[in-house]
Amino acid sequence: MSARDAHRREKLLDATVALILRSGVRRTSIDEIARDVGISKGAVYLEFPSKAALVDAAVRREFSHYIAQTCSRVEADPEGGRLSGIYRHSIAVLLERPFMRALYADNGRILDGLLRGPERYRPRVLLGTAFLQQLTDAGLLRADVDPAVTSHLISVLSVGPLLAEPLLSDETTPPVEATFELLADLVVTGLEPDSPSDPAPGAAAFRELAEGLIRALADDSQPAH
């Protein structure tokens, strides 16, 4: 792909993300995206065969950026390789990225059910059972806790507060960031041993996991949903 083509593709993805955030996926049209980018509708279809394919590519790019940014923060933090560090950084990045936050905080309006689709759309795979077993083997997680149960718990702790926001929030509700911080302190840290090992192996394992997820997200051969 030439630099010009790559630039046009990024502009199309930028416009798609912006319009989805503004109107939701159902109300976002190829006509609007083409108009925002300043190209013809036909030129969009030369790049993407359908609106579904374009939305799929935009979502995969947003997840890739989210994962890469989280990984950078984990590696920059001397304590980042612990489960509590990975949890804190992954949540902080999710809350900072408007598209990622909107996926969960608006009760599904933005992507109208896409989160129930392909596994690659689910941030919970960031901390799957195999990865948590690596942390256990490295002495960074309690050996008496089943990694599969921990994986599910972290999934609930990652998206639960955001899913609950539209239902429970009012003028007295504290910032969701404070809720996540308390969960990290009371729950996630409690999954770590009293004398945890060096977090460096955890950061290295997370880097390996992140790189694998980003490669999978970049695979355009996967069907769009």
Total Cβ atoms within 10 A of residue 132: 23
**pLDDT 10s digit of each residue in the chain, 225 long?**
778 878 889 999 999 999 999 988 888 999 999 999 999 999 999 999 999 899 989 989 999 999 999 999 999 999 999 999 999 999 999 999 999 888 777 655 665 555 554 444 455 457 899 999 999 999 999 999 999 999 999 988 988 888 787 777 788 889 999 999 999 999 999 999 998 799 999 999 999 999 998 998 887 544 443
- The whole-number pLDDT of residue 94 equals 93
- pLDDT of 221 reads 44
Please state, in angstroms and as integers, the Cα–Cα distance from residue 196 to each residue in 87, 136, 201, following that order: 16, 10, 12
Secondary-structure breakdown of the chain: helix, strand, coil percentages, each rounded to the nearest 5: 70, 0, 30
Helix, strand or coil, per DSSP, at residue 197 = coil
Tally the C-alpha atoms within 13 A of residue 154's C-alpha that lie toward its C-beta: 30
